[in-house]
Structure 1
Amino acid sequence: MSAEQRLADRRERLMTAAYSLYAKPGFAETTIERLCSEARISNRAFYECFGSQEELLQACHERCVDESLAVVSKAVQEAPNTLDDRVKAGIRAYIEFTTADWRRARIMHVEVRRSGDVLTLSRQRAIDAFARLVEDASADFVHPPGLNRRLVALGVVGALQELLIEWLHAEAPPPIGELVDVAAHIFIRSLGTP
């Protein structure tokens, strides 16, 4: 392998290790030494790939967000052109994709918050991207008069995040279908006509 290929391979192995370790035991409990051991690289090699553990967490979070946005965008574009169909398709795609691997859900909805200021900007960019997607997907439809569409979009994105946190933390997690139904109800009631 060339030097560039070796660096890319190490970087990917660190991302894979972080994906598991940042989900459990969690970002705060994971050391660089443990990441390097899991990735089978030296501690020195870590710093050739990432400037800090925070930078690695941000890379993991952003990958999860980018993959989720792509899945949801595709689902919304392929849905029939009604508010109900677009909302249900987007929410189902998001929830199913995010919960298909609990580590993804945990990084995106728990560790991003537990990391403190480390991911504040990354988290804000993700929320903004999902809110824009909601605004775009619902732009052709009548909205409740007098309400700021941007704030409504932020509110429904926040509601979806809380539902997924409940799924992660509940002793008896709600079924995925129930999460989809509740989230769709919240979105449609918030975005549609009164």
Structure 2
Amino acid sequence: MADVRPYRGVQARDRVAERRRRLLDAGLELLGGSESPPELTVRAVCSEAAITARYFYESFTDKDALVAAVFDQVVADIAATTQAAVAAAPPEEQNRAGIANLVGAVADDARVGRLLFNPRLTNAVLARKRSEAGGFFALLSGEHATSAHALPDDDWTTAAAHFIVGGVAQTISAWVSGDVALSQAQLVSHLTRMLDLLAPSNRESAGQRAILK
């Protein structure tokens, strides 16, 4: 039976939340703390978090559930800060603001970069979550295109959004892996220029659609 009594003035729900946070932090450290992470096990996570297995299972059914939760938290944090950065920037600077926030998140915490983009991480749950995240960020990119650039909400815009997200993700993956030798500022500028080139005017967009049809 779960302990629901206050302990040293801390309510049970707050203790549960704190243990969950420590487990998530431990999961991120074990998954992204090195280029070649060790095998993730419940015992390793509990040891890193300084929590017994009993408390692991009050928050997660198994290690796969933990991996999914770690990934979801990282993506949610980046999505929120990126949307805020874009919203705060003038229209002509929104592409740069979004890219700068994303690259900054990866540069500020190498664990985040490895979790999202390191191809050496072959965890099956991570592979699935990365695919899901690609679709999520494509949705956000499409919504931005329809609002910021007044592009129609159609399959053409959706296809462009997937193309952009896939290209940005692959480029950052190459940067994280060391295959692209650019500074952080250079990477932001390079990606921004490419995104700006892929944002046609309404007239160009309509004309291109007519030609392709």
Shorter-chain TM-score range: 0.7 to 0.9
Mark the structure with the bigger radius of gyration: 2
Matches of 1:141 and 1:74 in 2, distance apart? 18
Stretches of structure 2 lacking an aligned partner (at least 5 in a row): 1-9, 205-213
Give the CA deviation at 1:59.
0.9
Kept in 2: contact 1:27–1:115 (CA 8 A): no
- 1:67 is aligned, of 77, 83, 87, to 77
Supply the distance in 2 between the matched residues of 1:155 and 1:112 (Cα, whole angstroms).
23
* Normalised TM-score (structure 2): 0.78
**Number of corresponding residues:** 190
Alignment of structure 1 residues 80-119 onto 2, 5 Å? 80-82=90-92, 85-110=93-118, 114-116=122-124, 118-119=125-126
SS where residue 183 of structure 1 aligns?
Answer: helix
Contact 1:112–1:123 under 8 Å retained in 2: no
Larger relative CO (CA 8 A, sep 6+): 1 or 2? 1
**1:168 maps to what in 2?**
176
1:151 aligns with 2:159: yes
Question: Over aligned residue pairs, what C-alpha RMSD do you find?
Answer: 2.7
CA contact 1:17–1:35 (8 Å) conserved in 2: yes
Deviations 1:74-107 (A, max 9, x none): 111111123xx22111111111122211111111
CA distance in 2, matches of 1:181, 1:188: 10
Q: Which residue of 2 aligns with 1:77?
A: 87
TM-score (norm 1): 0.85
Q: 1:8 maps to what in 2?
A: 17
Distance 2:26 2:116 in 1: 16
Q: 8 Å contact 1:156–1:186 — kept in the other structure? A: no
Identity, in percent, stands at: 25
> Which segment drifts farther, 8-17 or 24-33?
24-33
Q: What letter is aligned with 1:188?
A: D
CA change 1:15–1:187 in 2 (3 A) is same
Report the counterpart of residue 177 of structure 1 in structure 2: 185
Work out whether 1:132 is the aligned partner of 2:139: yes
One-letter amino acid of the structure 2 residue matched with residue 5 of structure 1 = D
CA distances 1:27-73 after superposition (whole Å, capped 9, x unpaired): 66222111111111112221122111111111111111111111111
- Contact persistence 2:96–2:188 (CA under 8 A): yes
Query: Which range moved further: 177-186 or 164-173?
Result: 164-173
